[in-house]
Structure 1
């Protein structure tokens, strides 16, 4: 019986998940009953098994799973079976490998409100690689709070937050000194752009140890930005800012509300709100 191993030496397992465009090198330790290396075949043309290092003098061979970059628009289940070399006979002693093949996770169109909101949420929150990351549930709640902050700003009046003329979430995010790196959107500044690309690469890499967490993280951002997972505003409409800890408050008219997900959320001081009400 041959064993399928990852490059690290860990067992491959009976089922793995890969995404369009992924490549997974692996090792096969053991030979077939004819003392030759086994031949591995895929049940679907979108997934190929390619040789990397095969020498009949060695008990181990190195192969690679390669998933097509195109043509995958929905989930597929692909079986990889071992065959006795030079025959059409399956090797009954080597277990089948089942590969779940998924399409790449794509962000909403950059020109839509959901598109800019999703990108903002992905880069503004603590992702699963951050030392500020606690859990996916907390990151989701933090995303929801951020959207509430933006909506609360619009409702009170964007001009009070140095975003004169902003009448939509897109306007507000792009206004100067609102969200770092988004003033020239759809062009995003280098630091957040690199973070966005890294996050999406991991979310679409089934070989990465944190793939599942990153994929859920991005899916949550899309759901919140698209209004499918709105969540409650714990401030009853009175959160108006956030800053990544340990940053200073955004101004003298803000006071701390709550901390969540590595962020400090703020409301406005009662004296400032009283001044606004007096002007109405």
Structure 2
């Protein structure tokens, strides 16, 4: 009597690990998008009524840092989600902690960039007084900031940094570090490339009104387009044209820019009925 033949693995059993990996990556992406959605909701609540137009004050340091971190999560998580998902697939440690540490390192770098921006704005304000007020140099500096941002879109440094952001696999293979500390370092390094890519766009947000959810969404949209649109040159050149147009419009016709809060307009509207 012959021995029974060994049981063959069923197709479902053989594909189960692959399906599990796909579900894990999709779940991670869904979590990042959900956190971004919560960030948008929370930021909109915190910023309600605070938009004073170009060079709106950042407020106290603690409050600004809290809002800035949530803003970065809301604006950047959708575009960084593919990199985090790919890292989660490549790491040997099948733990949810590793991609979370990667994301945390990414936010740490952007928090540092926010602190630099806060220091620059507060230093200029203390040294020069109200030089950034709309009726002084604020309008012209805001326009110049947008023009500089447009020029930066066409520089080699922007191209290199954007290439790192658009190629998750290339970045991970070239910067791989094992372990949890390695995950944090890789996330921070990826954040540094992202800062190099997007710092001029974030400066444009300050120039248009950092407390405006509309302009926050506008800048986030430009960032997402640059990182995901297949036609890379079209994205960067298109962004440069948009920024240049906004900069010139700030100089020549600021009231023609939709959603822009022009400082002093509300005061004029309040005074007109009194004089009539």
TM-score by length of 2: 0.24
More strand by share: 1
Which of structures 1 and 2 has the larger relative contact order (alpha carbons within 8 angstroms, sep 6+)? 2
Higher gyration radius (CA): 1
TM-score by length of 1: 0.23
